[in-house]
Structure 1
Amino acid sequence: MVQQRRESFLGELLRMAEQNRQLSDQVKRMLRTEVSLRASQERLDNQVRLYRQLYELGRRFNAANDIEAILDRVMHFCVYELNFSRCVILVRSQDKPELTVRMADGYYEKRDRQRIHELRLPLDEAALEPVLSRGEQVVCPASCVDASLTALGGKIGMGEYVVVPLGGEPNTPSGLLAVGNGEERVRYFTRIVAEGDALVGLANMAGQATSAIKNVHSYQVMSASEQKYRRLFESSRDAHFISTSNGELLDANQALLDLFGYSREEILTIEVDQHYVHPAERLRFQEELERAGSVRDFEATLETKSGVMMDCLLTSTAEVAADGRPLTYHGIIRDITERKRAERLLADYSKTLEREVSERTQELRATREQAVAANEAKTAFVASMSHEIRTPMNGIIGMTGLLLGTDLSPSQREFAEVIRGSAESLLTLINDILDYTKIESGKLDLELDSFDLRQCIESALDLVATKSEEKQIDLAYFLDKNVPPGIVGDLTRLRQILLNLLSNAVKFTDSGGVLLTVASDQDPGRDGRRGRHLHFAVCDTGIGIPSDRVDRLFQSFSQLDSSTTRKYGGTGLGLAISRRLVNLMGGEIWVESDGIPDQGSVFHFTIPLQPATLEKERSYLTEVQSSLEGKRALIVEHHSASRGILRRLLTTWGLKTRDTKSLAKALEWLQEGETFDVAVLDAPTGGARGSLSATEIQKIHATGIPSILFSSALRRNPDLRKMKFSATLTKPIKPSQLFDALMGVILGDTVSDVHAESQRQKKSVFSGPPLRILLVEDNQVNQKLGLLLLEKLGYRADMAADGLEAVAAVERQPYDVVFMDVQMPELDGLEATRRIRASHAIASRPRIIAMTANAMEGDRERCLDAGMDDYITKPIRQEELASALRRCWEQELL
C-alpha cells in the first residue's frame, strides 16, 4: 500500500517535473521571441529614423542653392548619421583624366590629411570601373581579397569602404563618394555589410544629392542666362518691351524709356495703344501678330511724351500658352525717322539722277554707236587693205617663185631672190599688223587640236634655218625626256610665238648660236598658278638687253632704242603679239639678260600642258634601240650646244659616244687605234681654218668609218662634194632624220641625202590623179599665176572671171575642184558657192576651195559656212596648192 502510494507520488513528481520542463521551454521560447521582436523593433525604429533623416536631408537638399552646401550636408550625414569614420568626395579634373579630392572628413592626423588632399586617381583606375562607366556601387568589406579593391582602400586610407556615384549622369558621374572605416576597426563605427541599412541609406542619400546638384547647376545656368538676358535687354541700343496681349506694358528697357521720354513708373501705367498716332496701324499690327505669331519690320508712326511723331519699325514675337492663347509679346522698336527722311530725299534725288542718267545713257549710246561704227569701219578698212595688198602680193611672190624655178644667171637669180625676200618681209609685216588688230579688238580665238610638238618646233626652226646658216651661227633644239610627244593646243599660234622668238634671236646674234629647249614641270608659274606646264626657253649669244630697257620689249611698236631699229629693222610688234598670244593660252612670258654683249639673252614662256595621244607616236626616238645598242660613235661638232644634243640623242638610243669640237683631236684618237662604228661630222668655216677642216674631214673619211656629214659643211667646203658620205643632214639637228641616217649606216642600207631629197621634192611635179579644175579669179595677174602654178603641178584649168561665170561654167560641165576667189564683182565667191551647192546633188557637187586674200578673223568660218570645203589664203604658194589638191583626191578615195 505504502509502496503503491510511493510509486504514485513519484509518478506525480515526474509528471510535475515534465510539466515544469515544458513550461520552462515555453518561457525560453517566449523570451527568445521577445528578444527577436525587440531587435526587429529596434531595426525598424532605426530604419524609420534613417528614412526620416533622409527625408529631412532631401528637403534641405532641395532648399539649397549652392553645391558646396549640398556637399557639406553629404559629409555630415555620412559621418554623423550613418556613423562611418571616414568620408571622401572626389570630382573629375577639368584638364586631366583624373579624379581629385574636393572634400574629406575623418582624417585627423596631419599626415593623413595631407596625403588625402594630394590624392590623384586616374579615370582608368581598375577598382573604379563599375562606378565610373555603369554607375554601380563598389563595396569592399573587411574580408575582401580583391587586389584592386584593397589597393584602392590603401590609397584612400580605408580598410573597408563603399564607393557610390555622385552628380552627373548615371553612366558618367561627375564625382564619387567614398565612405568607410580606417584600418583600426573601432567597434562603434558602422561596419561595411552588403545589403545593410547603412549602404541602402547611403545609396538613397547619394541619389538625392545627385538630383539636388543637378537642380542647383540648372538653376545656376538659368540664373546666369537670365542675368545675361537682362544685361542684353538693358544694354541694347534698340528699344525693347514686353507687354500682355491686352496692350499692358510689363517691362521696358532704358533705350525705350529714352526714346519715348518716360520714366519707368510712367511708361508702365500707359497702354501701348496710346503711343500709336494712327489706331488702324495698331489694329493691323495686332491682327498680323495673332495670325502669324510674329511680325517683322512693321512700319508705324508713334508719338513720344513730348508729342513728337516718329517713324518706327516694330518687330514682335508672341509667347503662347499650351492651348495657343497669346500670353505676352516681346518686341523691338527702332526709330527710322531719319532714314525715312533720307529715303524721301533719296527718292527725289533718284528721280533727278534717273533723268540725268537717261540723258547720259542716250549720249553714251550714241557715242558707242559711233565708236562701233568707227571700229567696224576700221575693221572693214583693214580687211579691205589686207585684201588689196595680198592680191598684188600673190602675183609678186607667186611669179618670183616660178621665176626661181627656171634657168637663171647668177645675177638674175640674186635679183629674183631679193624680190621674193622683200615680198616675204612685207607679207610678214602685213600679218603682224593683222594679228595685232585681231588681238586688240578681242576677235582672236584659239583653236584646240592635237598635234605633234616636235613637228611644230622643227617647222619653226626650218623658217629661220637659212638665215642662221647665212650668219654661220648654230641653231639647235632639245626636248626634255618628260615632254609628251603630242599636246592639245593651237599649233599655228604656238609656231608663231616660236618663230617670233627664234627670228629675233637669230637677228640679234652675230656669232655663237641659238638654242631652244622645252621642258615640262609641276612648279607654280611666276603668277603663282600651279599645274603642269610646258616651259620653252630660247637662249642666244647675241647683243644682250640692258636691264633698264627690258620693260620696253613687250610693248607694241617698241624696240630697245632707235639705233636698234636702224641697224636691225623690224616693227616692234613680234614680241607684243607673242606676249598677247601666250596670255591667251593661259601662260606667261619673260626675259633674262645681263645686258652683256655675246652673253646674250634667254626668252622664257610657259603654257599649260594638256598631253594628247597621236595616231603615230615616234616613241623610238626616246628609247634604246637594240640594233644601235653598244655601237661606238665619234662626234665632231664645234658648237657646244649641238655637240651636247648629239651626245644625248645617241646615248638615248644606246650608242657609246666620244665627242670633241676639234677634227684634229678626232684624228689623233683614230691614229691611237680607237675604233668607231660611225662618225657624225661638222666643221667650222671661214678662211684657212675652213680649208684645214676640209682636209681633216677627208682624212677621217679615208679611215673607212661610215660618216654622216652636215650639209652646211658640204656647202661651205666645195672640196668635200667630191667625196661620197654615208649620209648628209641639214641643221638644225632633227632626231628623226639623224635616227634614220644612223639606222641606214649601221644596218648597211642606202640613205639618201636628206637636204637634196627635200629640195627635189619641192621641185618635183605633183603626182596625183587627173582632176577637172575650174579657177575663179577676177584679177588678171592672179589668173595667170594660178594657171601657171597648176600647170607646174601637172594640171590644166578652165577660167572664170567672176561668180556668175563660175555658176554658169559648173552648169555647163562637171568639175572635180573649183578654186574660188571670194571678193569679186557681179557675184562674190560666197554667193556663187551657195548657188552651186543648191543646184547640185551631193554626189555631183565639186569640191570648192576658197583661194582668197581675205585673211581676217572669221573669214575662214564664213567660207566654210557658205559651203566651201577648204580654205587657202593669198599669196598662194605651190606647196599649199599641192596640199589642197592632195586633200581633194584623198577625200575622193574615202
Structure 2
Amino acid sequence: MRYSNDFLRHMLNLPYAVRSIIVASAVILCLIFYMLHYDAYYSASFFILPIALVAWLFPQREFFICMGIICLVLVIFNSIVHGNLNWSYFFTTSSLVIAISLFVEGLLIGSLREQVLLADEARLHVADILAQQQQLSQIKDQFILNVNHELRTPLTAVYGYLELLLEYSGQLDGGTQTTFLKNAMYSCEELQLLVSNVLDTIQVGNEKDSIYLEDLPVIDVVYEVVEHFDPRNQREYPVHVNVPAHLVVRANGQYFRQVLRNLLSNAFKYAPADAPITINASLYGDVVQANHPSPEVCISVKDVGPGIPPDDIPRLFGQFVRLKRDVSGNVRGTGLGLYVSKQLVEAMGGRIWVESTGIAGEGSCFRFTLPCVTRTKVRAKTAPKSPEAPALPTPDGQPQSQDIR
C-alpha cells in the first residue's frame, strides 16, 4: 500500500507533457475498445481508466475539458452509427447513467488529489517550520555564547581594576588610581553599548511608529560620540571628521548616536593600528518625506581594514550574522551591531549600506542616510526671539574638518 501511494504521488510530479501523453494514450485506447465492443450497451465503462487518470494527474479544468471531449466524440460516433440522434430509450438512459457515474468518479478522485496535495503541502510546511526552529535554536545558542563572551570581557576588566584599587589603594598614587578608574569606566561604556544593542534588538520593532524625532546638527552628534569613545582608541586610530557645520538632520538623538557608536566600534575593531578612520557627511539626494521631496544627508564611516568579502555583504545586516573569519578569529562580537543599526536607521526614515571590495587595506565604508532639515527651516527655528538675543551666524557651507587623536 505504501509503495502504491508513493507511486501515485510520484505521478503528480511528472512533467506536464508526460502526463498529457499518458492521458491521451489512455483515451485513444479506450475509444478503440469502445468502438470494437460497441454492441455492448455498457461499453462506455471502458472510460473509467482515462477519467481516473485525468482527474488524478490534472486540476479540475483539465478534467472538465477531457470529459467534454470524450462525450463529444461518443455523441458524434453514436450519431454516425445510428444515422441520427433518435437513440433508443434504454441506450440513452444507460449512456447518461454511465456519463454521470464517470463524472462523479472524476470529482471524487479530483477531490482526493486536492486533499493529498494539501497534505503534502502541510507536511512540507511543517518540515520547513521544524528546520527553521532548529536553525533558530542553533542561532540562539550561538548568540548566548557570543553574549556570554562579550559580557565577560568588559566585566573582567572592571572587576580587575576595582580589585587592584581595593587591594593597593594605599600604595597607588592619584594618577594611577585615576587611570584605573577611567579604564574601568571605559569597560563599563563598552558593556553599556553591548546591552543597548541587545535591548534595541527587542524594542526597536515595537517603537518604530512612536519614536521621537528632532532637528540635530550632524557635527554635534559626531563629536559627542567620538569624544565618549575610549581615548586609547583615539590615540591608536586617528579619527578624521569632515562634516559641514550647517548640516542638520531630522532624527532620534539616541538612535543616531547608537548607529554612529556601532559603526565606529566596528572600525576600531578591524582597522590596523595608526590607520585613519574618516567620518564624512554631505547632502546625498532627494527622498520623499511627508508626501514631499526633501534632501537626505549621507553620513559615512570609512576605515582601511581588511574589508568585507562581496559574498558576505548581502547578509551582513542580518540578525546574529558574523563573518566566517571572525567566528574563527580573535575579533569579538555578537552579530547584533549592524542589524540594530539597520533597524534604527530605517525607523528614522533612512537607509544603510556598505561599500567594500574585500581587498585588505582598502577597508570598508559604511554609509547611512537621514532626512535633512533644509536651511530655511533651520533659520526659522534659530531666529532670535528678542532684540537682545544674538542671531546665529549664517553658515558658510564649508565643511568643518578636524583630526581627533
**TM-score normalized with structure 1 length:** 0.26
Contact 2:212/2:252 (CA < 8 Å) preserved in 1? yes
Separation in structure 1 between the aligned mates of residue 285 and residue 329 of structure 2, nearest angstrom:
36
Select the residue among 582, 605, 625 that pairs with 2:368. Answer: 605
In structure 1, the residue matched to 2:174 is 409
Select the residue among 305, 309, 314 that pairs with 2:97. Answer: 309
Provide, for residues 574-623 of structure 1, a one-character-per-residue CA deviation record: whole Å limited to 9, x for no partner: 234324544665634122246243x543222346x375867834895654
In structure 2, the residue matched to 1:645 is 399
Separation in structure 2 between the aligned mates of residue 348 and residue 237 of structure 1, nearest angstrom:
18
Cα distance 1:237–1:456, how it changes in 2: closer, same or farther (>3 A)? same
Provide, for residues 181-209 of structure 1, a one-character-per-residue CA deviation record: whole Å limited to 9, x for no partner: xxxxxxxxxxxxxxxxxxxxxxxxxxxxx
In structure 1, the residue matched to 2:225 is 460
Contact 2:354/2:364 (CA < 8 Å) preserved in 1? no
Q: CA deviation at 1:353?
A: 8.8
Separation in structure 2 between the aligned mates of residue 264 and residue 239 of structure 1, nearest angstrom:
20
Give the letter for the 2:226 counterpart.
L
Q: CA deviation at 1:547?
A: 4.0
Cα distance 1:263–1:563, how it changes in 2: closer, same or farther (>3 A)? closer
In structure 1, the residue matched to 2:261 is 499
In structure 1, the residue matched to 2:107 is 343
In structure 2, the residue matched to 1:536 is 299
Separation in structure 2 between the aligned mates of residue 534 and residue 264 of structure 1, nearest angstrom:
85
CA RMSD of aligned residues (A): 5.6
Separation in structure 2 between the aligned mates of residue 624 and residue 581 of structure 1, nearest angstrom:
31
Q: Check if 1:519 corresponds to 2:336.
A: no
Secondary structure class of the residue paired with 1:426: helix
Contact 1:465/1:475 (CA < 8 Å) preserved in 2? no
Q: Check if 1:432 corresponds to 2:186.
A: no
Cα distance 1:517–1:624, how it changes in 2: closer, same or farther (>3 A)? closer
Give the letter for the 1:413 counterpart.
T
Provide, for residues 430-485 of structure 1, a one-character-per-residue CA deviation record: whole Å limited to 9, x for no partner: 3333444667xx6564644331232544433333384554236133142497x6x3
Contact 1:505/1:514 (CA < 8 Å) preserved in 2? no
Secondary structure class of the residue paired with 2:79: coil
Taking CA–CA contacts closer than 8 Å with sequence separation of 6 or more, which of the two structures ends up with the larger relative contact order? 2
Separation in structure 2 between the aligned mates of residue 353 and residue 576 of structure 1, nearest angstrom:
38
Larger radius of gyration: 1
Cα distance 1:430–1:237, how it changes in 2: closer, same or farther (>3 A)? closer
Contact 2:284/2:296 (CA < 8 Å) preserved in 1? yes
Q: Which runs of 5+ in 2 are unaligned?
A: 1-64, 166-171, 384-390
Separation in structure 2 between the aligned mates of residue 574 and residue 437 of structure 1, nearest angstrom:
13
Q: CA deviation at 1:428?
A: 2.4
In structure 2, the residue matched to 1:267 is 84
In structure 1, the residue matched to 2:61 is none
Separation in structure 2 between the aligned mates of residue 533 and residue 565 of structure 1, nearest angstrom:
37
Contact 1:480/1:517 (CA < 8 Å) preserved in 2? no
Contact 1:464/1:506 (CA < 8 Å) preserved in 2? no
Separation in structure 2 between the aligned mates of residue 564 and residue 622 of structure 1, nearest angstrom:
52
Q: CA deviation at 1:427?
A: 2.8
Structure-to-structure mapping, 1:579-594, within 5 angstroms = 579-582=342-345, 587-593=351-357
Contact 2:352/2:366 (CA < 8 Å) preserved in 1? no
Q: CA deviation at 1:492?
A: 2.6
Q: CA deviation at 1:310?
A: 5.2
Structure with a larger share of its residues in strand: 1
Q: Check if 1:575 corresponds to 2:338.
A: yes
Provide, for residues 678-717 of structure 1, a one-character-per-residue CA deviation record: whole Å limited to 9, x for no partner: xxxx9xxxxxxxxxxxxxxxxxxxxxxxxxxxxx9xxxxx
In structure 1, the residue matched to 2:213 is 450
Q: Which runs of 5+ in 1 are unaligned?
A: 1-235, 241-253, 278-301, 313-336, 525-529, 626-643, 648-681, 683-711, 713-730, 733-894
Q: CA deviation at 1:515?
A: 2.2
Give the letter for the 1:521 counterpart.
G
Give the letter for the 1:424 counterpart.
E
Contact 1:467/1:506 (CA < 8 Å) preserved in 2? no
Structure-to-structure mapping, 1:576-725, within 5 angstroms = 576-582=339-345, 587-593=351-357, 595-597=359-361, 599-606=362-369, 609=371, 616-617=381-382, 620=392, 623=395, 645-646=399-400
Separation in structure 2 between the aligned mates of residue 564 and residue 620 of structure 1, nearest angstrom:
53
Q: CA deviation at 1:497?
A: 1.7
**TM-score normalized with structure 2 length:** 0.50
Cα distance 1:431–1:348, how it changes in 2: closer, same or farther (>3 A)? same
Give the letter for the 1:470 counterpart.
R
Cα distance 1:339–1:308, how it changes in 2: closer, same or farther (>3 A)? closer
Q: CA deviation at 1:262?
A: 0.4
Contact 1:549/1:560 (CA < 8 Å) preserved in 2? no
Structure with a larger share of its residues in helix: 2
Contact 1:450/1:486 (CA < 8 Å) preserved in 2? no
Separation in structure 2 between the aligned mates of residue 547 and residue 256 of structure 1, nearest angstrom:
65
Cα distance 1:518–1:546, how it changes in 2: closer, same or farther (>3 A)? same
What count of residue pairs does the alignment treat as equivalent?
288
Cα distance 1:411–1:590, how it changes in 2: closer, same or farther (>3 A)? same
Cα distance 1:238–1:344, how it changes in 2: closer, same or farther (>3 A)? closer
Give the letter for the 1:303 counterpart.
T
Q: CA deviation at 1:514?
A: 1.6
Separation in structure 1 between the aligned mates of residue 324 and residue 116 of structure 2, nearest angstrom:
53
Provide, for residues 142-169 of structure 1, a one-character-per-residue CA deviation record: whole Å limited to 9, x for no partner: xxxxxxxxxxxxxxxxxxxxxxxxxxxx
Structure-to-structure mapping, 1:829-868, within 5 angstroms = none
Q: CA deviation at 1:410?
A: 0.5
Give the letter for the 2:282 counterpart.
V
Secondary structure class of the residue paired with 1:511: coil
Secondary structure class of the residue paired with 2:105: helix
Contact 1:493/1:581 (CA < 8 Å) preserved in 2? yes
Select the residue among 178, 184, 187 that pairs with 1:419. Answer: 184
Separation in structure 2 between the aligned mates of residue 565 and residue 342 of structure 1, nearest angstrom:
63
Q: CA deviation at 1:425?
A: 2.0
Q: CA deviation at 1:342?
A: 2.3
Separation in structure 1 between the aligned mates of residue 237 and residue 117 of structure 2, nearest angstrom:
71
Cα distance 1:472–1:445, how it changes in 2: closer, same or farther (>3 A)? closer
Contact 1:544/1:600 (CA < 8 Å) preserved in 2? yes
Cα distance 1:448–1:432, how it changes in 2: closer, same or farther (>3 A)? closer
Secondary structure class of the residue paired with 1:464: coil
Equivalent pairs: percent with the same residue?
19
Contact 1:538/1:602 (CA < 8 Å) preserved in 2? yes
